[in-house]
Amino acid sequence: MKALVYHGNKDLRLEEVPEPDTQPGHVKLAVDYCGICATDIEEYLYGPVFIFGEAPNPVTGKMMPMITGHEIVGTVTQIGEGVSEVSTGDRVALNGVLTCEECYWCRSGETTQCPDMAAVGFAIDGGLAERIVWRADRLVRLPDEVDS
């Protein structure tokens, strides 16, 4: 599949990459839209800032090169084992943040303070690709009234 892969400062390449495999608790999405925001542009121009380049992210184990893109809407195309929250064909938006779920902040419900927080497109492959695999419990189903 095609994806935009960040290799470092001002080094973003359109590449052919392997399609991700669906895992238990995850779904595969066909990416319908992926926004590009100021953070993505800053990362390209001045980074790596948020993208893990020196060492792997503690939550995901990933580092660059990294598929970028963190503002993602997609359609569920494949369901992993144990998933009941969504169905094939559902249109969803991603809650694109993963945390350690073990630190003081995560246990206190203050997950935005997790020191090991991982954001899609910065610490794990993102949505500037044809497909992405993401945790089913981190998806928001879009109502039929919302145009895509």
Read off the pLDDT of residues 61-83 as tens digits, 9 standing for 90 and up.
Answer: 999 999 999 999 999 999 999 99
Is residue 90 one of the residues assigned to a domain? yes
Arithmetic mean of pLDDT over the chain: 95
* Domain count of the fold of the chain: 1
How far is residue 55's CA from residue 3's CA, in Å, rounded to a whole number?
A: 22
| 73 token code pair | 């809407």
Using pLDDT thresholds of 50, 70 and 90, give the confidence band for residue 143: very high
Is residue 148 one of the residues assigned to a domain? no
Is residue 126 one of the residues assigned to a domain? yes
pLDDT at 148 over 70: no
Beta bridge partners of 16: 2
| Domain hosting residue 80, numbered range | 2-141
Is residue 114 one of the residues assigned to a domain? yes
- CA dist 107 → 113, 116, 124 (Å): 11, 13, 22
Is residue 146 one of the residues assigned to a domain? no
Q: Residue 146: what pLDDT?
A: 85
Q: Where are the alpha helices (DSSP H) in 19-93?
A: 38-46
> Is 16 in contact with 28 (CB distance < 8 Å)?
no
Is residue 147 one of the residues assigned to a domain? no
Is residue 44 one of the residues assigned to a domain? yes
> Tell me, what CATH number does 133's domain have?
3.90.180.10
AA identity, residue 139: L
Helix (H) / strand (E) containing 14:
strand 11-16
pTM for this entry = 0.91
Mean pLDDT calculated for residue range 19-37: 96
